[in-house]
């Protein structure tokens, strides 16, 4: 008998078949020349998880809830059918078992959070959907969500890959997205376009290594991190630029002739920043301290020297060109259309299933439906052109 559970289970049980159908559809579109992979645009969209914001708990609370859930499962299973109809009893058993499974999954998820390097104090897992993560929402505020990554072929707006991740930002999502495109179409896109949320030096280098033309806005970091002192009321004569770098000794000389030795490096967005520091004793005795580093009480003055990889410099240069800027201008229209359709037309603003795997399938259903809709539109357009007026 077909009921709501049959349909609901069907939707999330046949991932191999669904993935196969998605890839077959792409194959047909490709054969028709409707997908070229000349230019692919990737974008991420947050879709709410089936979990309440107040369902996040620490491990101790979940362990306690699990004990109670196990007791409830035992109690429900011990109930005789006379106490309720058979159907009702089965529904109660199913609900109690599902709650126990969700709590067990929630406890396991703390191991994953450790790998994600979450601050111990911040580690909380949802008892409704353990794999959901609290993410910043486009309209403001935070909510339990998943990050849906969609790659769209620019020629006709066909979605060529979809993936769901737990990361709250898009920073490391471009390479996995390209992997999915290659897996689906056995071909590498020639050019890929993203917004600035994907840009990092690792991504720029990776795209270069994969021989993919990468188009995205490049944040100008020049001047950033030269020295945090320059914005703290330091006299112009003691700004970082007044400190002289000596490459041979890898150190700086300050305007008073004292040495700032190499202290360490920091990874920045697109650069590596090397930090140099004067001796505390030198600065304490310096008559110009009030103009150079007035706030320093326990350490000497520091300056930073930034270096940029050749690949990043080349990317930065490219993104200043008119051609690259013109390509980037069409990004939003192509990349954001499927996201908008899925949320506005298909009303997928919140997943109706729980867990990364099932949520991934729900997103895939939506993208498959979207592609079929695009395909029908393209077929109608073709037919209209062929038909005599
Ligand atoms: S405060 Fe320190 S770094 Fe600044 S000028 Fe004096 S000695 Fe040099």
The angle that helices 174-185 and 15-31 make with each other, rounded to 10 degrees, is 70
Ligand 1 atom at minimal distance to the Cα of residue 255: 5
- Report the nearest atom of ligand 1 relative to the CA of 278: 3
| 280 Cβ below 6 A of ligand 1 | no
**For the whole model, what pTM was predicted?**
0.77
Q: What band does 226 get if pLDDT is binned at 50, 70 and 90? A: very low
Report which protein residue has its CA nearest ligand 1's atom 5: 256
Which among 385, 341, 388, 387 is positioned nearest to 367, based on CA atoms? 341
* Rounded Cα–Cα distance for residues 165 and 330 (Å): 25
Alpha carbon 82 to chain centroid, angstroms: 52
93 lines ligand 1 (CB under 6 A): no
pLDDT over 80 (residue 329) = yes
Q: Which tens digits make up the pLDDT trace of 43-61?
A: 999 999 999 888 888 878 8
**Ligand 1 pocket, residue 259 CB under 6 Å:** no
- Distance of alpha carbon 187 from the chain centroid: 23
Cα 6 vs. chain centroid, distance in angstroms? 33
Do residues 155 and 38 lie in contact, with contact meaning Cβ atoms separated by under 8 Å? Answer: yes
**pLDDT tier for residue 230 given thresholds of 50, 70 and 90:** low
Q: In whole numbers, what is the pLDDT of the chain averaged over residues?
A: 88
Q: Is 303 in the pocket of ligand 1 (CB under 6 A)?
A: no
Angle at 379 between CA 185 and CA 154, to 5 degrees: 45
Buried b (16+ CB within 10 A) or exposed e, 156-173: bbbbbbbbbbbbeebeeb
Query: Counting atoms of ligand 1 from 1, which one is nearest the CA of 288?
Result: 6
- Say how far apart CA 144 and CA 162 lie, in whole Å: 20
pLDDT score, position 84: 57
CA nearest neighbour of 161 among 172, 171, 148: 148
- Where helices occur in the chain by DSSP H, the ranges are 4-13, 15-31, 59-78, 86-115, 174-185, 201-209, 280-285, 289-292, 310-318, 322-329, 331-340, 356-386
Picking from 172, 174, 148, the residue whose alpha carbon sits closest to that of residue 162 is 148
Q: Which residues pair with 136 in a beta bridge?
A: 142
Residue 87 pLDDT exceeds 80: no
- Ligand 1 centroid, distance to 227 Cα (angstroms): 14
- pLDDT tens profile 141-182: 899 999 999 999 999 999 999 999 999 999 899 999 999 999
Q: Name the more confident of 213 and 59.
A: 213
- Between the CA of 300 and the centroid of ligand 1 the distance, in Å, is 8
263 backbone dihedrals φ, ψ, rounded to 5°: -115, -35
Nearest CA to ligand 1 atom 4: 292
Burial 246-279 (b: 16+ CB within 10 A, else e): eeeeebbbbbbebebeeeeeeebebbebbbbbbe
Index of the ligand 1 atom closest to the CA of residue 257? 8
Task: Characterize 87-109 residue by residue with b for buried, 16 or more Cβ atoms within 10 angstroms of its Cβ, and e for exposed.
Answer: eebeebeeebeebbebbebbbeb
Q: How far apart are CA 283 and CA 197, in angstroms?
A: 40
CA gap 294, 234 in Å, rounded:
8
Q: Which of 236, 257, 258, 259 to mutate to test the pocket of ligand 1 (most atoms within 8 A of CB)?
A: 258
Structure tokens at 306: 């930034």
Please give the average per-residue pLDDT across 278-301, as a whole number.
93
* Cβ of residue 239 lying under 6 Å from some atom of ligand 1: no
Q: How many CB atoms lie within 10 A of CB 315?
A: 24
Q: How far is the CA of 256 from the centre of ligand 1 (A)?
A: 6
- Mean pLDDT, residues 120-138 taken together: 85
* Cβ 40 vs Cβ 160: under 8 Å: yes
CA distance 149 to 356: 13
Which pair of structure tokens corresponds to residue 236? 């112009």
Q: Rounded to an integer, what distance in angstroms lies between the CA atom of residue 305 and that of residue 357?
A: 45
Pair 52, 144: CB distance under 8 Å: yes
Rounded CA separation 213/34 (Å): 21
Check pocket membership of 289 for ligand 1, CB cut-off 6 A: yes
**Cα–Cα distance, 43 to 347 (Å, whole number):** 19
Confidence at residue 67, expressed as pLDDT on a 0 to 100 scale: 84
For residue 281, name the pLDDT band (cuts at 50, 70, 90): very high
Cα Rg of the chain, angstroms: 28
Listed as own residue / partner, the contacts of 258-265 with beta carbons closer than 8 Å and 24 or more positions apart are: 258/282, 258/283, 258/286, 260/300, 260/301, 260/302, 260/303, 263/302
CA dist 14 and 84 (Å) reads: 34
């Amino acid at each position: 008998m077909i009921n709501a559970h049959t349909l609901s289970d069907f939707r999330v049980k046949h991932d191999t078949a669904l993935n196969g159908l998605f890839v077959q559809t792409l194959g047909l579109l490709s054969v028709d020349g409707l997908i070229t992979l000349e230019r692919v645009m990737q974008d991420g969209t947050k879709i709410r998880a089936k979990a309440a914001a107040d369902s996040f708990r620490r491990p101790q609370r979940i362990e306690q809830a699990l004990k109670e859930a196990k007791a409830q499962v035992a109690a429900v299973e011990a109930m005789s059918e006379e106490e309720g109809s058979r159907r009702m009893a089965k529904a109660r058993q199913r609900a109690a078992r599902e709650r126990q499974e969700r709590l067990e999954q929630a406890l396991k998820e703390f191991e994953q959070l450790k790998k994600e390097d979450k601050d111990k104090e911040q580690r909380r897992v949802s008892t409704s959907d353990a794999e959901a993560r609290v993410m910043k929402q486009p309209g403001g505020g935070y909510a339990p969500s998943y990050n849906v990554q969609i790659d769209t072929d620019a020629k006709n707006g066909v979605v060529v890959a979809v993936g769901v991740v737990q990361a709250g930002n898009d920073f490391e999502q471009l390479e996995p997205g390209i992997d999915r495109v290659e897996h689906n179409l056995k071909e590498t896109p020639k050019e890929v376009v993203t917004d600035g949320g994907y840009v990092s030096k690792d991504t720029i280098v990776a795209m270069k290594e994969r021989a993919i033309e990468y188009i995205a806005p490049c944040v100008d970091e020049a001047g950033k991190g030269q020295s945090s002192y320059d914005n703290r009321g330091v006299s112009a004569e003691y700004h970082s630029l007044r400190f002289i770098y000596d490459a041979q000794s890898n150190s700086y000389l300050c305007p008073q002739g004292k040495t700032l030795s190499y202290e360490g490096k920091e990874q920045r967005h697109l650069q590596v920043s090397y930090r140099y520091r004067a001796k505390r004793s030198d600065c304490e005795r310096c008559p110009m301290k009030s103009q150079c580093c007035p706030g320093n009480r326990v350490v000497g003055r520091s300056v930073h020297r930034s270096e940029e990889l050749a690949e990043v410099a080349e990317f930065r240069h490219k993104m200043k060109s008119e051609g690259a800027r013109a390509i980037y201008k069409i990004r939003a229209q192509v990349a954001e259309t499927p996201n908008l359709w899925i949320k506005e037309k298909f009303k997928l603003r919140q997943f109706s299933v729980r867990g990364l795997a099932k949520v991934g399938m729900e997103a895939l259903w939506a993208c498959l439906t979207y592609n079929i809709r695009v395909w029908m539109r393209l077929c109608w357009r073709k037919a209209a052109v062929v038909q005599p007026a």
